[in-house]
Structure 1
Amino acid sequence: MAIGYESGHGRGQQYGPGDGREPGHGPGAGGGSDGSLPAWLRAPFEGRTWRAYGYVLLSLPIGVVLFTYAVTVVSLGAGLLVTFLGVPVLAAGLMGCRGFGALERARARGLLGLEVAEPRPLRVRRSGVLPWMRAVLLSGTSWRALLYAVVQFPWSVFSFVVAVSVWSVGLPLLTYPLWFWVFPMWAGRGGLQLYDDGHHRILLDSPLEILATAGAGLVVTLVTPWLVRALTAVDRGLVLGLLGPSRLSARVVELEADRGAVVDTAAADLRRIERDLHDGAQARLVSLAMDLGLAREKLTEDPQAAARMVDEAHGEVKTALQELRDLARGIHPAVLTDRGLDAALSSVASRCTVPVSVAVDLQRRPAPALEGIAYFTVSELLQNVSKHSGARSASVDVWRADDRLLLQVADDGGGGASASGGSGLAGLAERLGAVDGILVVDSPAGGPTRVTAELPWRG
């Protein structure tokens, strides 16, 4: 420092990463076990940081274009509403905003790695210009895209100024030891001037001050990547909230998919019942009718043969009745209706090929539909235990937690069960998902296996 009083150097504060960590890196700032640099040292050199910085730089000119377009089309459309021309102008303007929204989603995907689902397309019920304009004007996606064009502009100005200013301060201070010679050689001063009131002047010209300046620049440079990522986190929120599908439309799509799963499941169950009736009880009853006809013909000629045929027919009747009982139990067992889940699941467990303990802890019975879903879920899981697990024992637990009904089937078999692909567990998970249920499979190789189903409680 050349002359004057001492100036205090504020300590730079280094902020850790917020929620913008790279995938696969832990939350700590220390280096990994593989000897790599700590995250706070890698950040200024990572491609993610420079893509985020590029996103911020591009946001300003794009924001100017979007804001100008939005204000122009809305003002023009609103001004022309006194005539019929205002409606098509406004509809065309909103459609343009939807197109800009698609470009912004692509930009966020390319530079920020943000995957945003496409909003629901326009639903035009009839062909023609008027139905199309009505669909555009009534679409929430159109108005959210317009709101994005308006809101994004002031935020892009703020983020651009902050990001450029911080980079412009950090990098020159960090490299100050390399270019401070410019001041004594070309400016006639000993170094970078911090203060001058005509009587006192503060210059950064001593080796210690030059080193401290570079240290402050280093701190600013290390903080800048996290600041830029924090700025782009707001951009992520804007794109997700205004350019993606709304929660309501996403829920509608989910319910439509669930309805399709329910319809497919019901159709499959009907086909199974028809196949079981055709191949089982119906075939036996047809054979029984033929045997009784032959017995009637032999009744006068050979009573003993007729008696044997009637006796065989009696056995067929018993078998057919048992198949009908099994089929009825598969549709909806009477014991479930009469005595509830505890007795019904105990009945299912008794037919399993391995010993099964059943524990049902429910203060009151759930809704009949929910009871049926729980019963068939446990039934299918116990069938898997019998057929595939190689277990020596299994257990069934049913309990209620707040507004959820939980079912857990565990066995000590070989494990390796999975709900992926086209397995039976995948179909069961899909059916549970149709009623807002969840299926979680924990089955490491070698066992044990624990399958937990969660259903919404309705009493």
Structure 2
Amino acid sequence: MLADTLYVLVAFPYGLVGFVVLFCSFMVGAANVVTLLGLPVLFAAMYLARWFANGERAMLARVLQVPAARVNYKQPPPDSGWWRRIVTPLTDGQNWLDLGHGIVAFGTSLASFILLATWWAGALGGVSYPIWAWAIPQGPDDQQFHQLLGLPDTMFVNVTVQFSMGLVFLITLPPVARGAAMLRALPARGMLYSVAGLRDRITDLEEQTVEARAQTAAAVSAEATALRRLERDIHDGPQQRLVRLAMDLGRAQHQLDIDPDAARATVNEALAQTRETLAELRALSRGIAPPILADRGLVAAVSALAGRSIVPVEVDWPGLDNTTDARPRLDAAVENAAYFVIAEALTNIAKHSHATECNVSLERDGGYLLIEIRDNGVGGAHVSKGHGLAGLADRVRAAGGVLTIDSPDGGPTRLLAELPCV
């Protein structure tokens, strides 16, 4: 109540001064705009309106109990001349709304001030009436009022009636004070934030569009990189072994009639090639989407990765063990992205880091899955294009996450991936 009252009391003289200054400057500028001499005056009126509007916004933040918002006005280009600097504020809709508010707000300030002043006077005057009632003689109006209510014309009745009315004013003062403050504040908020709010929403949508396009491009890049790597691995591994298997089987076919023992040895070699080919195909399939990930979850799949790693790996998963965590499993897309991050990171550690130990930590933090991978290798890892971690960064970004790598020369290396999991 006191904050609302203070706002109304301050807004009345503030609005009066703003009305006089802005109305006079606007009329002078508008009257001379044909001769172009009024444009500098209108320019000054716009900046004065902006100054009064910023003061009003500071007061609105207190009375509406919202964070103070800063409005971004249209700015001229840095290398523009003085004429462009004068004209640019005149093309900003928010500047005109600021000017209109400075002129119109005096009416709402006056109405809210009269309403609140009347209520405060009624409350304070009625409640304190028994103290000073003796100093005021009763007149004909008091007698007519008592007759209208059917009450006897006595001092006690008069004091009782006035005190009761004062109590009514005092009890209803908080909602009336709030209503008077809103009478002044709500039109001000509508005028001082409308264009700016719309501009901010447009900016947010543009940023979201850019981010969505970047995520799409990252997803396409990540999938293309994964497909190229898969094609290379198949060509260098299973495909070569299948070619050799076909040659061995053809040689065994020719040896069956002339040298059965040699044919038997060739068939045994072909069987060994078949087993190795199947092992490589299983390894490739685990890199795409291992069955253990779908069947038993991320923790089991990461534990399996750690067990196959050349470098000793310790896995921590606080709050992610589904046997003890009541929350449901992560979304399949999040689990796949997390598994890919860890698998690729462990592969890079085994190939390039010369590390002797590694730690993988999985943790839910609010709406994000945090993946932290540390090793004691030689460091020097980064996500520049042309390096192995670039595809990993694209995969994380495609999932809406962020990848951070801290890997100074000489180590250690810390990789942190944040994936949204809401």
- TM-score range, shorter-chain basis? 0.5 to 0.7
Q: 1:141 to 1:287 in 2, by over 3 A?
A: same
Shift of 1:310: 4.9
Shift of 1:177: 1.0
Taking the aligned partners of 2:78 and 2:6, their CA distance within structure 1 comes to 43
Which residue in 2 is equivalent to 1:232?
181
1:177 aligns with 2:125: no
Taking the aligned partners of 2:194 and 2:321, their CA distance within structure 1 comes to 42
Taking the aligned partners of 1:65 and 1:148, their CA distance within structure 2 comes to 13
Shift of 1:203: 10
Shift of 1:72: 1.8
Taking the aligned partners of 1:269 and 1:132, their CA distance within structure 2 comes to 44
Which residue in 1 is equivalent to 2:270?
307
Which residue in 2 is equivalent to 1:244?
193
Which residue in 2 is equivalent to 1:212?
161
Contact 1:194 1:204 in 2 (8 A): no
CA offset digits 1:366-407 (Å, max 9, x no partner): xxxxxxxxxxxxxxxxxxxxx765599999xxxxxxxxxxxx
Could you tell me which amino acid in structure 2 is paired with residue 152 of structure 1?
A
Moved more, 315-324 or 224-233: 315-324
Shift of 1:236: 2.6
1:83 aligns with 2:35: yes
Which residue in 2 is equivalent to 1:378?
none
CA offset digits 1:292-311 (Å, max 9, x no partner): 68779989798447634653
Contact 1:114 1:236 in 2 (8 A): no
Taking the aligned partners of 2:15 and 2:85, their CA distance within structure 1 comes to 28
Taking the aligned partners of 1:65 and 1:113, their CA distance within structure 2 comes to 25
Could you tell me which amino acid in structure 1 is paired with residue 15 of structure 2?
G
Name which of 213, 216, 227 aligns with 1:263: 213
Which residue in 1 is equivalent to 2:113?
160
Moved more, 51-60 or 233-242: 233-242
Which residue in 2 is equivalent to 1:52?
4
Shift of 1:281: 5.1
Which residue in 1 is equivalent to 2:95?
142
Using the aligned pairs only, state the percent identity.
19
Shift of 1:312: 4.7
Taking the aligned partners of 2:52 and 2:120, their CA distance within structure 1 comes to 29
Name which of 212, 219, 236 aligns with 1:286: 236
Which residue in 2 is equivalent to 1:456?
none
Shift of 1:134: 3.6
Taking the aligned partners of 1:59 and 1:325, their CA distance within structure 2 comes to 66
Q: Secondary structure at the match of 1:82?
A: helix
Shift of 1:252: 0.3
**Gaps in structure 1 of 5+ consecutive residues:** 1-48, 184-188, 328-347, 355-386, 396-416, 432-452, 454-459
Taking the aligned partners of 1:232 and 1:222, their CA distance within structure 2 comes to 17
Could you tell me which amino acid in structure 1 is paired with residue 102 of structure 2?
A
Taking the aligned partners of 2:205 and 2:228, their CA distance within structure 1 comes to 34
CA offset digits 1:142-201 (Å, max 9, x no partner): 111111111101111111112112211221111111111223xxxxx3x4763489xx9x
Please report the TM-score for the alignment, with normalisation by the length of structure 2: 0.58
Taking the aligned partners of 1:421 and 1:135, their CA distance within structure 2 comes to 43
Shift of 1:258: 1.8
Q: Secondary structure at the match of 1:117?
A: coil
Taking the aligned partners of 1:101 and 1:205, their CA distance within structure 2 comes to 54
Contact 1:193 1:204 in 2 (8 A): no
Contact 2:28 2:41 in 1 (8 A): yes
Q: 1:195 to 1:251 in 2, by over 3 A?
A: same
Larger Rg: 2
Taking the aligned partners of 2:64 and 2:279, their CA distance within structure 1 comes to 70
Q: Secondary structure at the match of 1:127?
A: coil
Q: 1:230 to 1:352 in 2, by over 3 A?
A: farther
Taking the aligned partners of 2:266 and 2:119, their CA distance within structure 1 comes to 108
Shift of 1:242: 0.9
CA offset digits 1:398-418 (Å, max 9, x no partner): xxxxxxxxxxxxxxxxxxx98
Q: 1:133 to 1:419 in 2, by over 3 A?
A: farther
CA offset digits 1:410-429 (Å, max 9, x no partner): xxxxxxx98945348xx99x
Moved more, 103-112 or 215-224: 103-112
Q: Secondary structure at the match of 2:368?
A: coil
Count of residue pairs brought into register by the alignment: 304
Q: 1:308 to 1:273 in 2, by over 3 A?
A: same
Could you tell me which amino acid in structure 1 is paired with residue 192 of structure 2?
L
Shift of 1:73: 2.1
Shift of 1:351: 5.2
Contact 1:124 1:135 in 2 (8 A): yes
Which residue in 2 is equivalent to 1:96?
48
Contact 2:237 2:280 in 1 (8 A): no
Greater helix proportion: 2
Which residue in 2 is equivalent to 1:440?
none
Could you tell me which amino acid in structure 2 is paired with residue 307 of structure 1?
A
CA offset digits 1:278-300 (Å, max 9, x no partner): 66553343334564687799897
Could you tell me which amino acid in structure 2 is paired with residue 286 of structure 1?
D
Taking the aligned partners of 1:393 and 1:181, their CA distance within structure 2 comes to 74
Contact 2:49 2:95 in 1 (8 A): yes
Q: 1:73 to 1:305 in 2, by over 3 A?
A: farther
Name which of 403, 409, 422 aligns with 2:368: 422
1:69 aligns with 2:15: no
Could you tell me which amino acid in structure 2 is paired with residue 138 of structure 1?
T
Which residue in 2 is equivalent to 1:369?
none
Q: Secondary structure at the match of 1:181?
A: helix
Q: 1:79 to 1:326 in 2, by over 3 A?
A: same
Q: Secondary structure at the match of 1:51?
A: helix
Could you tell me which amino acid in structure 1 is paired with residue 278 of structure 2?
G
Q: 1:316 to 1:99 in 2, by over 3 A?
A: farther
CA offset digits 1:242-271 (Å, max 9, x no partner): 111435324302312322431343254246
Name which of 204, 226, 236 aligns with 1:254: 204
Taking the aligned partners of 1:422 and 1:82, their CA distance within structure 2 comes to 60
Taking the aligned partners of 1:231 and 1:178, their CA distance within structure 2 comes to 29
CA offset digits 1:120-155 (Å, max 9, x no partner): 332434532333334312211111111111110111
